[in-house]
Amino acid sequence: MLDTQIEACVESVESAADAQAGGAHRVELCTGLTVGGTTPSPETIARARERLKIGLFVLIRPRGGDFCYTPEEYETMARDVLRAKELGADGVVIGGLTRDGEVDRDRIRRLLEAAHPLAVTFHRAFDASRNLDEALDVVQELGVKRILTSGGAATAEEGIPVLRRLVGRAGPGGRVSILACGTIGANAPRIIRETGVKEIHMRGTRLRAVVNALAVA
């Protein structure tokens, strides 16, 4: 399991540096984790870039709550994507749904155009979509690099059957990678083994447990 990519979700420059020292391959930088994460300040992004040699992905989300955004909120996200790119981010984490629970294809395409050529992750709006299989197909068609998901369950462990199905649907040569998330810690080896995911995401506070578990798996 040494080839498993580990992404740590962090809220501060200090936590990002700790994740780098602890063995993370990249960080997802955000703020407001109590509401599921929102866009960090430009100053935080800039300082994190100065400290990190590993990948820096920036969450682009204007508020907590649902994932159905207004035109004005999409405009804010587009500007935040451009700012993150200017500040040296390696990638951005975006997402958005229509009121019908489908991927907001046209507006997500605009955010992808703003992000180019950065790698893009579709965040857990995916798990709130009406049909995960259809959402995967749309996200893959749009050219998103990875999908952050617990398989629609409260935790990755509970979502193992769906995560396994999503990995299979993406296929070995699929353009999109399934990034498993949801209370991952010492259970990481089981989740990886039973789903086939190549990437896992967890809070920075759980990084040590994950690294230790993978080292002996």
pLDDT score at 174: 67
Residue 92 has pLDDT above 90, yes or no: yes
pLDDT score at 37: 97
pLDDT score at 64: 97
Q: How confident is the model at residue 217 (pLDDT cuts 50, 70, 90)?
A: confident
pLDDT score at 1: 54
Question: How far is residue 43 from each of residues 80, 86, 106, 158, 170, measured CA to CA in Å?
Answer: 12, 12, 30, 37, 36
The CATH code of the domain at 5-216 is 3.20.20.380
pLDDT score at 2: 55
**Model confidence over 5-34: pLDDT tens digits?**
999 999 999 999 999 999 999 999 999 999
**Model confidence over 106-119: pLDDT tens digits?**
999 999 999 999 99
Q: Which is it for strands 146-149 and 119-122: parallel, antiparallel or unpaired?
A: parallel
pTM score: 0.96
pLDDT score at 17: 98
How many other C-beta atoms lie within 10 A of the C-beta of residue 130?
Answer: 12
* Contact (Cβ atoms closer than 8 angstroms) between residue 60 and residue 80: yes
The stretch 187-203 carries a mean pLDDT of 97
Quickly list DSSP for 28-56.
Answer: EE-B-GGGT-BPPPHHHHHHHHHH-SSEE
How many other C-beta atoms lie within 10 A of the C-beta of residue 78?
Answer: 18
pLDDT score at 49: 98
